[in-house]
Amino acid sequence: MRELLLPACLAGALLCLAGHVPGPVRRWGPQVPALGGMALMAGGRALPGACAVAAACLWQGVRARADRRGWSEVTDMAAMAMLMALMTGAAGGTHAHMAMGHAAGPAVLTLVVWVTARAGGFMLGKLSDAPLRPGCARAARRARACRESGAAVMITSMAAMLV
C-alpha cells in the first residue's frame, strides 16, 4: 500500500496544476516549482524538494496578497511544505531523530490544522462569495474541483506516508 502513496501525491499535485492552467501564468506559476519539488522528493533528493516547495509557498503567499484572493492555496502549500520538511527528517536529513517514526505526531497535527484552516476558509468564503458570471461559472467550478480534489489527495497521501 505504501508504494501507492507517492504516485497518489504526484497525481494530486498534477490535479492542482491542472486546475490552475486555464488561468494566467501568475496564478499557476507557484504550482510548477511545487510539483518539481515533489518530483525531486520522489527521486530521493529530499532537501532540495522541500526547499522548492517552501519557495513555492512564499511565492503563493505573495501572489495571494497581491491579488487579494483567498488563502486556501497558500494553506495547501504551507501544509505541503511542512509535510515535506518532516519527510526530509524521516529520510535521514538533518533531523535524524525523526527517522524512528516520531514524524507521525507532527504529520497528523499538520493534517488536522490543514483541514481546520480549509474548513474555516470555506465557511468565510460562503459569507462573502460574489456570484460568478453565468458564462464562466461552469469552467470555474470544474477548475476549482480539480484544485480542491488534488489538494485533498496530495496532503492526505503525504501525511499517510509519515504515519
Domain ranges of the chain: 2-162
Angle (CA) 114-118-124 rounded to 5° is 145
pLDDT tens for each residue of 74-128? 888 889 889 888 888 755 544 444 444 677 888 899 999 999 988 887 787 777 6
Q: What predicted TM-score, i.e. pTM, was given to this entire model?
A: 0.77
For residues 57 and 65, the answer to whether their CB atoms sit within 8 Å is no
Q: Which long-range contacts (CB under 8 A, 24 or more apart) does 44-52 make?
A: 44/91, 46/84, 46/87, 46/88, 46/91, 46/93, 47/88, 47/93, 47/94, 49/84, 49/88, 50/81, 50/84, 50/85, 50/87, 50/88
Name the grid cell of 34. 511545487
CA 24 to chain centre: 19
Mean pLDDT score, 27-32: 78
Of 37 and 3, the one with more pLDDT: 37
Residue-level pLDDT at 113: 92
For residues 129 and 4, the answer to whether their CB atoms sit within 8 Å is no
